[in-house]
Amino acid sequence: MSYLIFILIGAINGLFSSGAGQLLIFYLVYILKRDTKLSREYSLTIMPIISIPTFIIYCTKSSIDITMSFIFIVISLVFGFLGNKMMKKLNPNLLNLISGIFLVLITGISLWRTL
C-alpha cells in the first residue's frame, strides 16, 4: 500500500509540481500514525529528490528561464533552512494548523482565479 501511495505522490509532483509534499505528510501522519515533525523531515528530504527529474525535463523540453530558476532555488534554500530551524521549535499541532491554513488559502485563491 505504501509503495502505491509513494508512486501516486511522485506522479502528482511530476504532473502538478505542487501538493505532493502535503500529501506525503498527510499519509505519514494520519494514515501511518508517524510523528508530525519526522514526517515533515521525510517530506523535505524526499521532495527535492523526486523533483530533480521533473526539473531536468522542464529545462530541456520547455522555455524555462534557467537563470530565474536558479535564483528561485537559492532563495528557497535560504528560506527553507530558516523555516527548518523554526519548525523544530514549534508544536506539531501548530505546524498542522499552519499547513492547513496555507492549503485552504492557496486552494481558495486558485479556485477564485479560475472563475
pLDDT digits (tens, 9 = 90+) for 28-86: 888 888 888 888 888 878 877 877 887 788 778 877 787 888 888 888 888 888 887 88
Contacts of residue 25, defined as CB under 8 A and 6 or more positions apart, other chains included, come to 36, 39, 40, 43, 99
Spatial distance between the Cα atoms of 24 and 43, rounded to a whole number of angstroms: 6
Question: Residue 91 carries which DSSP code?
Answer: -
Domain, as residue range, for 40: 2-114
Residue 102: the pLDDT is 80
Spatial distance between the Cα atoms of 98 and 86, rounded to a whole number of angstroms: 13
Number of domains in the chain: 1
Spatial distance between the Cα atoms of 10 and 13, rounded to a whole number of angstroms: 5
- Band of residue 17 on the pLDDT scale cut at 50, 70, 90: low
